[in-house]
Structure 1
Amino acid sequence: MHLTRQISRRSLLKASGAAVGAAAGIAAAGRPASAAGAFAHPGLLHTRTDLDRMAAKVKAGAAPYTAGFARLTANPHARSGWQARPQAVVYRGSGTPENYALLYNDIHAAYQNALRYHVTGESGYADTAVAVLNAWSATLTAVDGSADRFLAAGLYGYQFANAAELVRDHGDFELARFQEMLTKLFGAVSDDFLVRHNGAVISNYWTNWDLAAMVCVLATGIFCDDRAQVTRAVEYFKHGAGLGSIKNAIPVVYDDGLAEWLEAGRDQGHTLLGVGLMGTFCEMAWNQGIDLYGYDDSRFLKGAQYVAKWSMGGNVSYTANTRQKGAIRGWSGTETATAAAGVDPAMTRPVWAMIANHYTKRRGMPATYVTQIAAKAAPEGGGGDYGPNSGGYDQLGFGTLTFTRDRVEAAGGATSSPNPTAPASVSGPASASAPSSPSTMDKGDGLAATGSGDVVGWTAATGITALAGGLLLLRRRGRRAG
C-alpha cells in the first residue's frame, strides 16, 4: 500500500505570512516584542522549584544528585573566573572562517557557572556567568556562514537563553541588551528558517534542523515574554510543515507501542540530537503550563522509546520513506531510507534523564527502554564531557543533577500537571485531537551536504517563499497513526 502525504500550499503560505510578519516587526522595532502577561521566570529548562530541589539534595548528600554535581564541578567550564572571548561575527559552515567554537564554549561556561551558583549559593559563579553573557551581548552583531548558520542560531540561541534565564535577576546582568541580541540575531533567524527553510523544498532539511530552530524560537519567546512567538513555536510543533513537527519527526506508530523516529533512517548521532531537542522543547513548554509531552497520546514518549531501544542495539521496525531535496525553482533530487541505520550501543548523549524523569516520575508512566538507557548514561555530564567537537555541546546536559525528581502523584494516582504557577497554556490558531561520534555533527546536513553547494541568496532577501512542493513520504509497511 502506498500512502502519500502532501502539504497544503495554502496552509504553508498562511503560516509563512504570519511568521514573517512577526519577524519583520521584531527587526523593525530593534527590541523584543512585548505581550500581555509575562511568563513564569525562571521557566525554561529549570524552574525555581527545580533549582531549590538541586541545592537541597546536594546539601543533604542525596544520591544521585551528588554524583551529578560531581560531574559539574569536575568540568573546566564550571570554574569561576572563566574569561569570555566574544566575537563581533560568529561563523559556522564550510567556506567561512569558522569561530563558532568560541561561542558554544562560552555559553556552556555561563550555563555551568550559573547552575553551580544555584546549587552552592556562591556568588562568584553567578558573577562569572553574568560577565560572559554581558560580554557577548555587548559585542556580537551577526551569526553568519553557510547553511550551517541556521544550526548555530538555533542551537546556541536556545542555550544562550537558558544560561541567561538562570541569572536574569542578577543586578549586573544587562537584561534588555541581551534580550535584543537574542531576539534579533537568534530568534528571528530561527523563525525565518521555519518559514523559508533557506530557500529549499520543505523536506530538504532533516528533522534536527527544524528542531534546533523550534527550541530557539520557543526559548527566545519565553525569555523575552513574547507570547505571539511562543504561540508560533507551539503551533509549529503540532502542525508545522517541516520535518521537525511531531507527526513528521515521528511519522509511524507501531502496534508494539513504539513510534518510528524518521531520522533513524539516517544515523544515530543526529537522531539522538533530535530526541534531545524535542525533549528540550517539551520541557520548556511544560514549565509554562503547556503539555506537549502528552500531546497526541504521548507520541513523543513512543518515539523516545523507539530510539532508546534501537540505540541499545535492539531491533526496531522502519517504514521506507522518500524525501524530496533541492531548492525552490532550482536543482532537485530524492533520497530514500529503507531501514534504521546501524548503531553503536556505547554512544551516549546527555538527553535521557529529562525524558525518563518526566514520564516515570511526573506522570507515573512506564518507559522501559528510556529508563534503561538513562541509567546507562548516568551520571550525565555536559558540554566538554562528550568530546571537543560541536556535537558534544549540542545539549546543556547535567540531567542527573537537574532532572532527577521524586515521584509526584496526586491522590488517587492522577498524574501531575504542568507547572501550576505558570501562566495559562498558550494555544495556536488550531488544535489537534488529542554518528558515530560527536564530530559527525560538525558539518551541517543542508544543501551543501548534498554536493550542490549552499543555496547562496535563497533567503529572505530573495522574496522567494518556500512552497510546500517537496515532501513526499511513501509508506510501504507498518501502520500510520494520526
Structure 2
Amino acid sequence: MSRTSRNSPHGHLHTTELSRRGLLRTAGGLGAAVALGSAFAATSADAAPGTFTHPGMLHNAGDINRAKVRVAAGDDPWLSGWNKLTANSHSQSTWTPRATATIIRGGTGENYSLLFNDIAAAYQNALRWKVGGTEANAQCAAKILNAWATTLTTVTGNADRFLAAGIYGWQFANAAELMRDYSAFDLGAFQEMMTKVFYPLNNQFLTGHNDACITNYWANWDLCNMASILAIGILNNDGAKYDQAVTYFKSGAGNGSIAHAVPFLYSNVDGYDLGQWQESGRDQGHTVMGMGQMGAICEMAWNQGEDLYSYDGRRFMKGAQYVAKYNLGSDVPFTTYTWGTGQSCAQQSQTVVSSASRGQVRPVWAQLHYHYGRRLLLDDKYISQMCFSVAPEGGGGDYGTTSGGFDQLGFGTLMYAK
C-alpha cells in the first residue's frame, strides 16, 4: 500500500513506498533488504512488528557478535574502540550506583548528573560484558539498573524535566535491552519503572509541548522524547508506543518530525544534496546533538525492520551531510528560519547559520557513516569525513563532565564499524 505523507516545506507531496519490513518479507532476508535499501524510499505507515527483535535497539545480535569477534582478533578499528571503552572510568565493574527517588533537571536542587553518570556506567558495563564476556561487568550493570528500577519514582524540574525524561529514557532503556536476558537483572521491575516514570512525561511533551506554541521547542526536545517512547515500546514489547514514536517521526506537528527537523532542502551543492537542520541557526553543539538523537531513533527502528533512515527521500541523510559539511569548516547554504515562540507564537527569525560551538566533537557520526556509507554503499562524503576525524569514538565521560557529554551513549567505532 502506498500512502502520501504530509506536505513538505517545499510544497511537494512525497509518495511513500515499501517499508524495510516489507522488503524483508518479500525479498527474503536482510541481505536482500540491504541490497535494495538505496532503491527504496521507506516507508509506509506499518504497524509495529508482530514480534519484536531482541536485542533490538542501538545494537542487534549481529553488531554484538561482530564486535566480539573483531576485538578478540585484535582488529582495528574495533580494538581501538574497545580500548576507548575499557579506559573509561564509567565502564569499570567497581562503579557504585547512586540511585535516588527524585531526579531534578532545571530549577532548584538539580541532581540529574547522578542519573546520566549511572546510565553511562550501566551501558558501558553492559557493553563490556556483551563484547568481552566479563561477568563482573554484567553484575555491575545489573546492580545499577536494579537500584534505579526500585528507587526512582519522579523526574521533575522546570521545562528541562522533559529533556531529562527523553534523553535518559531512551538511554536507560538501551542499557536494559543489553541486559534483558541476564538472570540477576529484574527486567519486570525496570519495565514498570520506565512505564510509570519516563513514558508519562514523554507522552505529555509530544502531545502538549508544555502548553507552548507548537514551534517553540527545538527539534531535540521532540527527538529525545520520541526516542524514549520508541525504546520503551521495544523494551516492553509494546506495539502502541512503538507506533506512536514512528508516526510522530513521520508526521508529528512539532519540530522533531522529519520535515520540520530538516525544513529546507538543497539539491546538488558541489555534487551533494543537503538539508538545513532546524537548529543550525542556533548553535552547532545542539545541531550535532540532533544527529545523535535522530540517529538513535533511526537505528532502533532499523533493528525492528523499519527504515526511517531513508524516509522521505533520505531526508535525514541530507540533513546530516549539511551539518557535517559545516562543522568540517566548509560553507553551506542557509534559508532564513522563522518560528513562533512562547505561548503567543511571537515570531523570531534566524538569517545565518550559527558558528557558535562549530566543530564540536560528539560521538554520533560512526553510526551514520556505517549505515549510509557501508550498509547502503552511498557516497556520504561529509558524514564519512566527520566520522573518521573523530574516531575512535568514546562515550559518556570522554567528552567533559556536563550533560552535553552524556547526550549520546557513544562507542560507535566499536559497535558499528563494518
The letter of the residue matching 2:187 is: L
1:262 to partner: Cα distance: 1.5
Residue 72 of structure 2: aligned partner: 59
The answer as to 2:233 corresponding to 1:217 is: no
Report deviation, 1:344: 4.7
Paired position in structure 1 for 2:61: 48
Moved more, 257-266 or 335-344: 335-344
- Equivalences for residues 64-463 of structure 1 within 5 A: 64-94=77-107, 96-256=108-268, 257-327=273-343, 331-405=344-418
Question: What secondary structure sits across from 1:395 in the alignment?
Answer: coil
Using the TM superposition, name which of 135-144 and 343-352 deviates more: 343-352
Query: d(CA) in 2 for partners of 1:229 and 1:380?
Result: 31
Q: Summarize deviations over 1:393-421 as a string: whole Å, max 9, x none.
A: 0000000001111xxxxxxxxxxxxxxxx
Corresponding position of 2:28: none
Structure 1 position 297, deviation (Å): 1.3
User: Does the Cα contact within 8 Å between 2:9 and 2:263 map onto a contact in 1?
Assistant: no
Q: Tell me by how many angstroms 1:258 deviates.
A: 0.7
| CA–CA separation in structure 1 for the residues paired with 2:347 and 2:154 | 33
Residues 5 and 375 (structure 1), Cα distance of their counterparts in 2 relative to 1, 3 Å cut:
closer
Structure 2-normalised TM-score? 0.87
Contact 2:90 2:117 in 1 (8 A): yes
User: 1: CA distance between counterparts of 2:360 and 2:215?
Assistant: 27
Alpha-carbon deviation of 1:172?
1.2
SS across alignment from 1:314: coil
Question: Given that residues 212 and 277 in structure 1 are in contact (C-alpha distance below 8 angstroms), is that contact kept between their aligned partners in structure 2?
Answer: yes
Q: CA deviation at 1:133?
A: 0.3
Aligned to 1:415: none
Question: What is the CA distance between 1:322 and its match in structure 2?
Answer: 1.2
Would the aligned equivalents of 2:174 and 2:231 in 1 still touch at CA under 8 Å? Answer: yes
**Of 314-323 and 55-64, the range deviating more from structure 2:** 314-323
Residue by residue, what CA displacement relative to the aligned partner does 1:308-341 show, whole Å, maximum 9, x if unpaired? 00111111111112111112xxx55221111110
Amino acid in structure 1 at the alignment position of 2:407: D
Task: Specify the code of the residue in structure 1 equivalent to 2:165.
Answer: A
Cα–Cα, structure 1 residues 339 and 38, in superposed 2: closer, same or farther, change >3 Å?
Answer: same
Displacement of 1:5: 6.5
- How far apart in 2 are the matches of 1:262 and 1:135? 38
Distance across 2 between alignment mates of 1:115 and 1:88: 26
Write the distance in 2 (CA, Å) between the matches of 1:355 and 1:333. 35
What secondary structure is seen at the aligned counterpart in 2 of 1:336?
Answer: strand
> 1:213-242 CA distances to partner (integer Å, 9 max, x unpaired)?
111011111111110111111111010000
Secondary structure at 2:347's aligned position in 1? strand
Asked whether the equivalents of residues 313 and 344 of structure 1 are also in contact (C-alpha less than 8 Å), the reply is no
Matches of 2:394 and 2:348, distance apart in 1? 35
Q: Which amino acid aligns with 2:170?
A: Y
Instruction: Name the SS for the 1:90 alignment partner.
Output: strand
Residue 37 of structure 1, CA deviation: 3.7
4+ residue segments displaced more than 4 Å: 3-6, 343-346
SS across alignment from 1:348: coil
Instruction: Return the offset for 1:188.
Output: 2.2
Query: 3-state DSSP class of the match of 1:187?
Result: helix
CA contact (8 A) 1:155 1:213 kept: yes
Query: C-alpha displacement at 1:212, in angstroms?
Result: 0.9
Structure 1 residues 10-49: aligned runs within 5 Å: 37-49=50-62
Which amino acid is the alignment partner of residue 112 of structure 2?
Answer: Y
Deviation readout 1:352-399 (Å, 9 max, x if unpaired): 000000011110111000000000110000000000000000000000
Q: How far, CA to CA, are the matches of 1:77 and 1:36 in structure 2?
A: 34
Question: For this pair of structures, how many residues does the alignment match?
Answer: 371
Unmatched segments (≥5 aa) in structure 2? 1-6, 11-47
Question: Are 1:91 and 1:99, in contact at CA under 8 Å, matched by a contact in 2?
Answer: yes
| Separation (CA, whole Å) in 2 of partners of 1:130 and 1:294 | 35
Matches of 2:192 and 2:304, distance apart in 1: 22
Does the 8 Å CA contact 2:285/2:358 hold for their aligned counterparts?
A: no
Displacement of 1:128 after TM fit? Answer: 0.3
Q: Deviations over 1:82-110 (max 9, x none)?
A: 1000011000002x200000000000000
CA 267–346 in structure 1, closer or farther in 2 if over 3 Å, else same? closer
Distance 1:46 1:36 in 2: 17
The residue identity in structure 1 corresponding to 2:75 is: A
Tell me if the contact between 1:261 and 1:306 (Cα under 8 Å) persists in the aligned partners.
Answer: yes
